[in-house]
Chain A
Amino acid sequence: MTAATGLRVADLTVTYPGPRTSGFRRQSSITAVRGVSLDVAPEETVALVGESGSGKSTIARAIVGLVAPSGGAVEFDGAPLSNRRDRLARRNIAMIFQDPRSALNPRMSAEASIVEAWRAHPEAAPEGVRRDPRRRREAVVDLLAQVGLDPDVAGKRPTALSGGQCQRVSIARALALRPRLLICDEAVSALDVSVQAQVLQLLVRVREARSLSMLFITHDLGVVRQVADRVAVMRRGELVENADAQTLFSAPRHDYTKELLAAAVDLDVSG
């Protein structure tokens, strides 16, 4: 057992091949992330902000192994996540996406989606769920309750659920494997404001109840303000500032961070 040091991203570079211009030729490759180093300590919530194309989602994809880094290293609690076979280490990390409807299999009930996660990672499944259907249903209902959903949601498919409910099912599915780090990639951006507040509150509660770390990717500085302990600012593939949230909001140092904060449209009730 290695020490709980959390997530460590060191000097990460991700390069995508350029678009194909003909059957044999490609344009020069595009470096989406260039030499980024970023840590998420145990129980810490780090927000990764930046505009579209800044590379923030690519970092998340590299952490969970959806894209292969062309340089640098990613490790969790000291164990490298260098190849797709590091299943055990990867189980510690779960990811929630922006569009909960397309993240869930439309033909699977909420229960089936959760059970599928246990089938892929039997070592993380609660005791007895593989053989005993009643025990399985209990475990699913228990998970759903933790994300504020009624037991009857277990039998429903995504089409029968609202966007907020789908996102809660995604969260339940992510929690099913008892992760240590939750990556939320624009996880509340597509939700209605009133539902967004509920899901943010849920994420904060789950984080506290389970002592989770979070990497919260968003373009919305208002959302960042609600959840983050620390904020990392990306611009054109590079990390330009990484500071304690309080400090970043009150005294940003980098010009680009200042520009982002100045442009952030906040509720204006003056006058």
Chain B
Amino acid sequence: MPERARQGSAGTLRVRDLTIALPGPRGMADVVDGVSFDMVEGRTTGLIGESGSGKSLTAMALVGLIPDTGVATGQVLLGEENLLTAGRARIRQIRGAEISVVFQDPSTALNPTMTIGDQVGEILRSRGLSRRQARERAADLLDHVGIPDAAGRVGAYPHEFSGGMRQRAMIALALAGRPRFVLADEPTTALDVTVQARILDLLGRLRDEDNLSMLLVSHDLRVMSHVADDLVVMYAGRVCERGPAKAVLNRPLHPYTDALVRSVPSVRVRSAIADPLPGSPANPFDRPAGCPFHPRCPRAEDRCRTEVPELREIAPGRVSACHFAELAQRTPDTVAEELR
């Protein structure tokens, strides 16, 4: 890819206490409740959760794409600017240029009546490039995302591409405006396994080469474990755990994360179904009192049914919203130390 024109530090996108209310069966409900995390330059943040966790809504709120009936409060800070209070025109300006989005299903996100080259070129031309420059740059971008014979395929329509190639084109489209932040919502869910692995490699490579800050939204912990540097685990609209990905997966500090890790069907071992969590993910419109996870939690006590656990730092960089996170943090070594 041609050298990045932007100079200086790409910085961080800071999400603070993001709360999103949507109309539900019993009036407005905070289906996303007090979510905070950072998107750091050159790092991929994984936003993981099951249905109703609010992960996609959280990601879309960063670029103003929540339903018209919804109300978002809190802060999404790009530098000093709060995007939640920025006007529509300003958000449109930011979307695509500063922050862009890769959607799950490229066959619906791409325009079927325009060539791939024209779709990428449209963005470039809106940024002042000539028709010819746009076409050349579009070919560069398609090449950058690993589309073979890119120059020869700028004139192709989306239906002439395979699913994996369409997702690459979608990524090229997202990169056309040279964003610093990329939001990818389940970008590999609709793809075949062999293609999935290649797209994940591509996302990792782009993060490194373009020094992007990426937010990867997924329900798939396996995908996350390969791509995410940091993890934000959501349940029923709240963050239940946050921290460096490997640390979180190796030693979860929240029983929900622990259960997710155990439920993952692994190719290596036959243990995912030994001890599944009971019940279904909580409905954020009807969130259980206290810790929202308590009805399914193997270690729930009375306190968990009434008292909302505070999200707090348990170890450096490790944040959890479990009343017993401090206990989970103890290892056999530290316990032995305490007993000594």
Q: Once the chains bind, are B193 and A267 in contact (CB under 8 Å)? A: no
Q: Once the chains bind, are B280 and A165 in contact (CB under 8 Å)? A: yes
Q: Once the chains bind, are B226 and A268 in contact (CB under 8 Å)? A: yes
Q: Which of A21-29, A66-74, A111-119, A222-230 contacts B (4 or more CB under 8 A)?
A: A222-230
A198-B276, A219-B192, A268-B226 known; A193 vs B269 contact (CB < 8 Å): no
- A86 at interface, CB cutoff 8 A: no
- B281 at interface, CB cutoff 8 A: yes
A260 to B277, CA, bound (A): 29
B187-214 to A contact mask, C-beta < 8 Å, 1/0: 0000011101100100000000000000
Interface size class, chain B: 35 or more
Q: Once the chains bind, are B273 and A226 in contact (CB under 8 Å)? A: yes
Shortest CB-to-CB span from B282 to chain A, Å, is 11
Residues of chain B within 8 A of A260, CB atoms compared: 193-194
Interface of A is mostly: helix
- A133 at interface, CB cutoff 8 A: no
Q: Once the chains bind, are B280 and A162 in contact (CB under 8 Å)? A: yes
Which of B193, B194, B222, B249 is packed against the most chain A CB atoms within 10 Å? B193
Residues of chain B within 8 A of A52, CB atoms compared: 163, 192
Which residues of B in the span 139-179 have a Cβ within 8 Å of any Cβ on A?
163
Q: Once the chains bind, are A267 and B222 in contact (CB under 8 Å)? A: yes
- B180 at interface, CB cutoff 8 A: no
Q: Once the chains bind, are B281 and A264 in contact (CB under 8 Å)? A: no
A222 to B223, CA, bound (A): 13
A51-B193, A221-B193, A226-B273 known; A193 vs B225 contact (CB < 8 Å): no
Which residues of B in the span 305-326 have a Cβ within 8 Å of any Cβ on A?
none
- B238 at interface, CB cutoff 8 A: no
Interface size class, chain A: 35 or more
Which of B246, B261, B265, B280 is packed against the most chain A CB atoms within 10 Å? B265
The residue of chain A having its C-beta at the shortest distance from the C-beta of B277 within the complex is: A194
Residues of chain A within 8 A of B249, CB atoms compared: 267, 269
- B67 at interface, CB cutoff 8 A: no
Q: Once the chains bind, are B225 and A267 in contact (CB under 8 Å)? A: yes
- A179 at interface, CB cutoff 8 A: no
Residues of chain A within 8 A of B194, CB atoms compared: 51, 259-260, 263
- A249 at interface, CB cutoff 8 A: yes
- A271 at interface, CB cutoff 8 A: yes
Residues of chain B within 8 A of A200, CB atoms compared: 265, 272-273, 276
Extra pairs beyond A264-B267, A265-B222 (11, CB < 8 Å): A51-B192, A163-B280, A192-B281, A193-B219, A194-B277, A197-B262, A197-B276, A201-B276, A260-B194, A263-B194, A269-B249
Q: 9 tightest A-B contacts by CB?
A: A222-B265, A197-B276, A192-B50, A51-B192, A197-B263, A201-B273, A162-B280, A263-B194, A268-B225
Taking Cβ atoms with an 8 Å cutoff, the residues of A that contact B are: 51-52, 162-165, 192-198, 200-201, 204, 219-223, 225-227, 249, 259-261, 263-271
